[in-house]
Structure 1
Amino acid sequence: MAEINVSAESMRASLSEALGRLRKANSDYFELLERALGSSPLPVANQAKEFCAFMQHNVTATFDLGDKLINAKDMQDALELQADFFQDQMRSLTDQGRAMSESAMKAAGGMFSPKV
């Protein structure tokens, strides 16, 4: 039986390549989604576009974390990267939630304003 000897560098290279393919697929997906929402006659299309932008930001942040973890020096470094990512994501989600609620309130306010 042949012995498999995978070096850390070849593993990092493979993971980086796979992450690059995932980034490309993600980019293609969001481009398609943006085009579909851009042609949508639905009144909530603008809110959907905003939500999609938030999703894209969050997915990109996750891919960025993957890049950093692939190059982590040791377990302590990886744990610090994850802790920083978690804190950044919590701040980002708070900001995104605030923006979405403001957008929803604005849209709801427009529904009840008198038509001229």
Structure 2
Amino acid sequence: MAEINSSVEGVRAALTDALGRLRKANTEYFEMLEKGLASSPLPIASQAKEFSSFMQRNVSATFDLSDKLIHAKDVQDALKLQSEFFQDQMRTLTDHARTMSESAMKAAGGLFSPKS
């Protein structure tokens, strides 16, 4: 039985290590993306930065879920974690959609406002 527990812990350790490397690569990717967007002369660069921020938070939440699933005690615990994640993601999606629509409305309002 100790052999099974040690192999489970070995798999968890390997998954945790891989997740850590993925997090690091993800952080580096988003840093590079932000640098590119910061130097962009495009008029939609600020909206792209905002969208990038949303993506970064979603990916981070997914990594957090993965970390929790690696340490789940059983299937019911894993299902509970996934259910909570789904609910949080739906709330986040609603917030993102509202923020993006407000941003789009402001941008559109600026296009049609009279120039003095």
**TM-score class normalised by the smaller sequence:** over 0.9
Structure 2 unaligned segments of length 5 or more: list them.
Answer: none
Q: Write the distance in 2 (CA, Å) between the matches of 1:18 and 1:78.
A: 19
Please list the CA deviations of residues 40-69 of structure 1 after superposition, one character each: whole Å capped at 9, or x if unmatched: 111100000000000000000000000000
Q: TM-score, structure 2 length as denominator?
A: 0.94
Shift of 1:80: 0.1
Higher relative contact order (CA 8 A, sep 6+): 1
Q: Identity over aligned residues, as a percent? A: 71
Q: Which residue of 2 aligns with 1:63?
A: 63
Secondary structure in structure 1 of the residue aligned to 2:84: helix
Q: Distance in 2 between matches of 1:16 and 1:45?
A: 35
Over the aligned positions, Cα root-mean-square deviation in angstroms equals 1.0
User: Which of the pair is proportionally richer in helix?
Assistant: 2
Residue type at the aligned position of 2:67: D
Shift of residue 114, structure 1, vs aligned partner: 1.6
2:12 is aligned to 12
The equivalent residue for 2:79 is 79
**Cα distance, 1:115 vs. partner?**
1.9
Q: Distance in 2 between matches of 1:52 and 1:9?
A: 35
Tell me which amino acid in the other structure corresponds to 1:40. S
Runs of 4+ more than 6 Å apart: none
SS class of match (1:26): helix
Match of 1:51 in 2: 51
Alignment partners' CA distance in 1, 2:37 and 2:115? 26
| Residue segments in structure 1 that go unaligned for 5+ positions in a row | none
